[in-house]
Structure 1
Amino acid sequence: MKVNRIALAGNPNTGKSTLFNTLTGLKQHTGNWSGKTVSHAEGTYKYQGQEYLFIDLPGTYSLFSNSTDEEVARDYIVFEKPDVTLVVVDGTSMERNLNLALQVLEMADHVIICINLIDEAEKKGIVIDEEKLSSKLGVPVVKISARNKRGIDTLLNTIARLLKGDIQTKPYRLTYRAEIEEQINQLEPIVSELIGDGYPSRWIALRLLDGDEALLKKLHEQIKSNGSEVKPYEFGTIIHS
């Protein structure tokens, strides 16, 4: 039986780990990410005859390689390619939390936005139109309260439908200034040629334009493990050409 890998991403204090614990219960184990001191937790859950492996990524505010936590979360989404990335956001602080969600949408296609703490949001008079938000973002949006187990069945059903192909996504991608978009358009096909179409070439082009040295190193490691002869300086040559 295929085990479907579901990555949980989100800001700290969004209830992401509470959701992870609600779903996996005692069927989980912890350790450290390979070569890192950052804690790693994963656990299993069966739903409609399918087995899910939930991976609780480190809580981060961004995915820009500013910390080990950010690198771990980013690298898992981009290079390990989970079947679904579940972005957990705080329903009482949507504007701040959606910054990370928009970054994930640039990196992956199979994404679900999970609005947690919806009970607290409602107490504060916050009204969230998940259907309108889903239409804007191009991915499913589900409201839950992990602590009270509200909306969990809807969330699991949405994951199952996305995995089956019953839900098609078209993630929203930010449009940048004209000069940046021109550079992306020039760089993206070269990136695709060098590393193949299995990676988010537009996002990688953006990070290369930012001079993300940590990503350059990771790309070299990944490509080398796949038997390619591409060297880090080749990316540098592209950026500065």
Structure 2
Amino acid sequence: MSNNHNQYTIALAGNPNTGKSTLFNLLTGLRQHTGNWTGKTVAHAEGFFDYKGQSYQITDLPGTYSLYSNSADEEVARDFIIFAKPDVTLVVLDATALERNLNLALQVLEMTSQVIVCVNLMDEAKKKGIQIDIHKLSQKLGVPVVPISARNEEGIDQLLDTIDQMVRGDIQTNPLQISYNRTIEEKIEKLVPFVKQVIGDHYPARWIALRLLDGDMSLLQSLQKEPRQFLKEVPHYACNCSTKSI
């Protein structure tokens, strides 16, 4: 979560080529820098913006198709959402490939309730005759869904207002919980109490139980380490800051 009440943290997640970095650049302008995660050859960008008297620090996570730690990129994105506990996680989806992109969104919803889904490239979807019922999608997912076109700067005001409402506590989410087959659900039910005994309520017990059932050894290793290490960075190799505010 944010280090103080004056600055909130945002994670920006999404599949590759969804326009995630375009949105990041639009929000932060020149107030951004880049570096590598500690001990990882995985680059990341971090930026800042202000809105309605609030300051935000936003981290552009590596573009991934899942968060199952099959690669360094996936592990970094997963660990940031779990251990850094961002105040808001923005999941950017490609409006022209919604079904494929929703896989990542559903995984994020299992990890945190503080989620806003951004359906980007709405202009491209319109050209292809694709219609998306944003309201119904929001009802199904249980979190706010905002249609945007980052490169055309469309829908950004609505997105910023939604972020503002979420950090102020004016939005209550009810994330969709995926139901697995009976065998898996029974195993989850048995494992969750043991997980809570070890980690308490600090991390999502159901999600961790799922990852343990899947044999995710890298998560076990991450849990055994000092969580704050995932927030540390190596010295930045680029920095270009200004006082620009949204």
Q: Are 2:56 and 1:52 equivalent residues in the alignment?
A: yes
Q: What's 1:4 paired with?
A: 8
The match for 2:191 among 187, 193, 209 is 187
CA displacement at 1:196 relative to structure 2: 1.4
Provide the secondary structure at the position in 2 that maps to 1:51. strand
Q: What's 1:201 paired with?
A: 205
**What letter corresponds to residue 154 of structure 1 in structure 2?**
Q
Q: Is this contact kept in 1: 2:83–2:227, CA < 8 A? A: no
Q: What's 1:147 paired with?
A: 151
TM-score normalised over the length of structure 2: 0.90
Amino-acid identity (%)? 67
Q: Distance in 2 between matches of 1:162 and 1:76?
A: 19
Deviations 1:205-229 (Å, cap 9, x if unpaired)?
000011111011001114799xxxx
Q: What's 2:223 paired with?
A: 219
Query: How does 1:169-180 map onto structure 2 within 5 Å?
Result: 169-180=173-184
Provide the secondary structure at the position in 2 that maps to 1:92. helix
Q: What's 2:111 paired with?
A: 107
**What letter corresponds to residue 215 of structure 2 in structure 1?**
G
Q: What's 1:32 paired with?
A: 36
Q: Are 2:65 and 1:61 equivalent residues in the alignment?
A: yes
Question: How many positions carry a matched residue from both structures?
Answer: 225
Deviations 1:115-174 (Å, cap 9, x if unpaired)?
000000011111111111000000000000000100000000000001111110010010
Q: Distance in 2 between matches of 1:224 and 1:13?
A: 29
Q: Are 2:101 and 1:97 equivalent residues in the alignment?
A: yes
Pick closer, same or farther for the CA change 1:136–1:219 going to 2, 3 Å.
Answer: same
Q: What's 1:236 paired with?
A: none
Q: Distance in 1 between matches of 2:226 and 2:135?
A: 38
**What letter corresponds to residue 206 of structure 1 in structure 2?**
L
CA displacement at 1:189 relative to structure 2: 1.3
Q: Is this contact kept in 1: 2:111–2:207, CA < 8 A? A: yes
The match for 1:134 among 138, 144, 148 is 138
**What letter corresponds to residue 25 of structure 1 in structure 2?**
G
Q: Are 2:160 and 1:156 equivalent residues in the alignment?
A: yes
Deviations 1:63-106 (Å, cap 9, x if unpaired)?
00100000000000011100000000000000000000000000
Q: Is this contact kept in 1: 2:14–2:65, CA < 8 A? A: yes
**What letter corresponds to residue 184 of structure 2 in structure 1?**
I
Pick closer, same or farther for the CA change 1:38–1:223 going to 2, 3 Å.
Answer: closer
Q: Distance in 2 between matches of 1:18 and 1:34?
A: 25
Q: Distance in 2 between matches of 1:201 and 1:149?
A: 38
Q: Distance in 2 between matches of 1:53 and 1:219?
A: 24
Q: Distance in 2 between matches of 1:224 and 1:76?
A: 10
Q: What's 1:167 paired with?
A: 171
Q: What's 2:79 paired with?
A: 75
Stretches of structure 1 that go unaligned for 5 or more consecutive residues are: 226-241
Q: Distance in 1 between matches of 2:57 and 2:126?
A: 31
**What letter corresponds to residue 47 of structure 2 in structure 1?**
G
Q: Distance in 2 between matches of 1:223 and 1:83?
A: 17
Q: Is this contact kept in 1: 2:32–2:47, CA < 8 A? A: yes
Deviations 1:43-70 (Å, cap 9, x if unpaired)?
0010000001111000000000100000
TM-score normalised over the length of structure 1: 0.91
Structure with the larger RCO, 1 or 2 (CA within 8 Å, 6+ apart): 2
